[in-house]
Amino acid sequence: MSPIAPLRIALAQIAPRLGFLDENLARHRELLAEARSQRAGLVVFPELGLTGYLLQDLASEVAMRLDDPRLAALAAETRDLSTVVSFVEESGDHRLFIAAALLEDGAVRHVHRK
């Protein structure tokens, strides 16, 4: 039996800008590239890191469905590492959830709703 290779985990301690989804997505991509250069295998971002936390009335404006092209573009950045990101998810029946998604191998692998 061969030994299991260690997993390097990067914790992305960021202060997302409230309601600035595109700016926060860009920051996530930057930090994924930095973590990749440091050979991290998993990058974990904070709750609602893509949107900011105290959204109140902004929640519906920044909510994303799971098929949102911006989420797919971020997932595409995970060709050689995994990441957990958090955002406001809009369900098919237009309900909003705080969600965490596991992105790896270029795809959204799992979503957990709070």
Mean pLDDT of 91-106: 96
Q: Is the model's pLDDT at 2 over the cut of 90?
A: no
Mean pLDDT of 86-94: 96
Number of domains in the chain: 1
pLDDT band at residue 50 using 50, 70 and 90 as cut-offs? very high
Q: How many residues does the chain have?
A: 114
User: Residue 2: inside a domain, yes or no?
Assistant: no
Q: Give, in order, the Cα–Cα distances in Å from 98 to each of 1, 26, 31, 101, 113.
A: 41, 20, 22, 10, 6
Mean pLDDT of 69-88: 96
Q: What is the pLDDT of residues 16-30, one digit of tens each?
A: 999 999 999 999 999
User: Residue 1: inside a domain, yes or no?
Assistant: no
For the record, the structure tokens of 66 come out as 């799971």
CATH of the domain at 95: 3.60.110.10
pLDDT reported for residue 17: 93
User: Residue 95: inside a domain, yes or no?
Assistant: yes
Q: How far apart are CA 111 and CA 114, in angstroms?
A: 10
User: Residue 29: inside a domain, yes or no?
Assistant: yes
Q: Which residues constitute the domain of residue 65?
A: 9-113
Per mean pLDDT, which range of 29-33, 59-63, 110-114 is the poorest? Answer: 59-63
